[in-house]
Amino acid sequence: MRPGLPILVVEDDAALREAVCDTLELAGQAVVSAGGGNEALQLLAERTVALVVSDVRMLPIDGITLLKEIRIRHPYLPVVLMTAFADVDRAVEAMRAGACDFLLKPFEPKALLEHVQRYRLPEVHDDARAIAIDPLSVNLFALARRVAQSDSTVLLTGESGVGKEVVARFIHQHSARSKGPFVAINCAAIPDSLLEATLFGYEKGAFSGAQRAQAGKFEQAQNGSLLLDEITEMPLGLQAKLLRVLQEREVERVGGKQPVVLDIRVIATSNRDMADAVARGHFREDLFYRLNVFPLLIPALRQRGEDIAPLARHFLADHGARAGRPALRLSAAADAALRQHPWPGNVRELENVMQRAVILAPGDIVELEALHLAAAAPLAPSAARRPEPAAPAMTTVASPAQPRKANKMSEVEREHILATLASVGGSRTLAGQRLGMSERTLRHKLRQYRLDGFLKA
Tens digit of each residue's pLDDT (9 = 90 or more) over 115-152: 887 777 655 444 556 778 788 888 888 889 889 989 99
- pTM, 2 dp: 0.60
In this prediction, residue 85 carries a pLDDT of: 61
Considering the domain boundaries, does residue 129 fall inside one?
no
Q: Which residues pair with 81 in a beta bridge?
A: 54, 102
Same domain flag for 173 and 281: yes
Same domain flag for 259 and 156: yes
Last residue of one domain, picked from the residues 263, 279, 297: 297
Report CA 120 to chain centroid distance, whole Å: 21
Same domain flag for 388 and 311: no
Q: Which residues pair with 329 in a beta bridge?
A: 365
Last residue of one domain, picked from the residues 297, 332, 363: 297
Same domain flag for 246 and 175: yes
More confident call, 78 vs 167 = 167
CA atoms within 13 A on the CB side of 33: 18
Amino acid at 369: E
In this prediction, residue 403 carries a pLDDT of: 33
CA distance 400 to 296: 38
Considering the domain boundaries, does residue 2 fall inside one?
no
User: Which residues span the domain enclosing 313?
Assistant: 301-376
* Most confidently predicted of 83-87, 205-209, 354-358, 420-424: 354-358
> How confident is the model over 100-111, as a mean pLDDT?
83
Same domain flag for 169 and 279: yes
> Where are the strands (E) in 67-132, listed by range?
79-84, 101-105
Same domain flag for 386 and 415: yes
Same domain flag for 89 and 179: no
In this prediction, residue 179 carries a pLDDT of: 93
Considering the domain boundaries, does residue 90 fall inside one?
yes
Task: Give the CATH number for residue 109.
Answer: 3.40.50.2300
Considering the domain boundaries, does residue 251 fall inside one?
yes
Asked whether the predicted pLDDT for residue 399 surpasses 70, the reply is no
List the one residue out of 185, 262, 251, 253 whose CA is nearest residue 223: 262
In this prediction, residue 20 carries a pLDDT of: 92
**pLDDT confidence of 383, banded at 50, 70, 90?**
very low
Out of 80-84, 91-95, 162-166, 239-243, which region has the weakest mean confidence (pLDDT)?
91-95
In this prediction, residue 387 carries a pLDDT of: 37
CA distance 440 to 417: 14
Asked whether the predicted pLDDT for residue 286 surpasses 90, the reply is yes
Same domain flag for 228 and 181: yes
Considering the domain boundaries, does residue 404 fall inside one?
yes
List the one residue out of 123, 121, 33 whose CA is nearest residue 77: 121
Residue 260 makes CB contacts below 8 A (sequence gap 6+) with 218, 219, 250, 251, 252, 253
Same domain flag for 282 and 197: yes
Considering the domain boundaries, does residue 310 fall inside one?
yes
Same domain flag for 148 and 61: no
CA distance 18 to 33: 9
Check if the beta carbon of residue 318 is closer than 8 Å to that of residue 352.
no
List the one residue out of 183, 140, 131, 138 whose CA is nearest residue 351: 131
List the one residue out of 447, 443, 454, 444 whose CA is nearest residue 404: 454
Last residue of one domain, picked from the residues 341, 359, 376: 376
**Number of independent structural domains in the chain:** 4
Considering the domain boundaries, does residue 126 fall inside one?
no
Same domain flag for 147 and 288: yes
In this prediction, residue 392 carries a pLDDT of: 29
**pLDDT confidence of 186, banded at 50, 70, 90?**
very high
Out of 211-220, 354-363, 394-403, which region has the weakest mean confidence (pLDDT)?
394-403
Task: Give the CATH number for residue 412.
Answer: 1.10.10
- From residue 376, give the alpha-carbon distance in Å to each of 74, 240, 244, 445: 31, 40, 43, 21
**pLDDT confidence of 27, banded at 50, 70, 90?**
confident
Torsion of CA 66, 68, 69, 74, to 10 degrees: 110
Task: Give the CATH number for residue 331.
Answer: 1.10.8.60
Same domain flag for 144 and 280: yes
In this prediction, residue 310 carries a pLDDT of: 83
CA distance 69 to 84: 22
Considering the domain boundaries, does residue 1 fall inside one?
no
Task: Give the CATH number for residue 145.
Answer: 3.40.50.300
- Percentage of the chain lying above the pLDDT 90 cut: 37
